[in-house]
Amino acid sequence: MKIYQFPDPLLREKSLFIKEIDGSTAAFMERLKDRMYVNKGCVGVAAPQVGELKRIVVVDATGHKKVPVSHGLLLMANPQILAVSGSTINREGCLSVPDYTGNVERGDYVKVKYMDKNGEEKIMEADGFEAVILQHEIDHLDGVLFIDRVKNTKRDLFPRKNY
């Protein structure tokens, strides 16, 4: 699966809602998960990043130093943020913006509704860096990149030394 990179216009489009989780959708979620794990240190990927305008994200913050306790692997269709609170600033990076990282302010807590790979509706709560990851990935579904949320590009956007 090719990762689409900024400034590809596809990354700016809104993704379509998934009506049901059928066999091909579940298989796509598995391939997206595999694509995430290929990149060392990657904690999430969204369908638009691989050229599919579907409201699907995959997240796994297990073992990340900023996430002492995670929800493990999350395969999410139609994730919708129901609530956000608090505030935190983190350095974010993205497979679709490989040359930069940036300081981004996001909520420190989120409540998210989604369908799992079995088509079951779930509601989860996350805080800290796992909440940040979820917000970052869900942004992709609306054509929003982390660089859009950097308040001051002169002060808070940094060339990446290596990836």
C-alpha triplet 149, 46, 100: angle, nearest 5°: 45
DSSP state of 158: E
Distance between CA 115 and CA 95 in Å, rounded?
A: 24
Q: Are 157 and 102 in contact (CB under 8 A)?
A: yes
Sheet with strand 44-46: strands edge to edge:
44-46, 56-59, 74-85, 109-115, 121-127
Instruction: Give, in degrees to the nearest 5, the angle at Cα 118 between 113 and 120.
Output: 35
How crowded is residue 42: how many other Cβ atoms within 10 Å of its Cβ?
16
Active site residue 137: yes
Q: List, by residue number, the catalytic residues.
A: 137
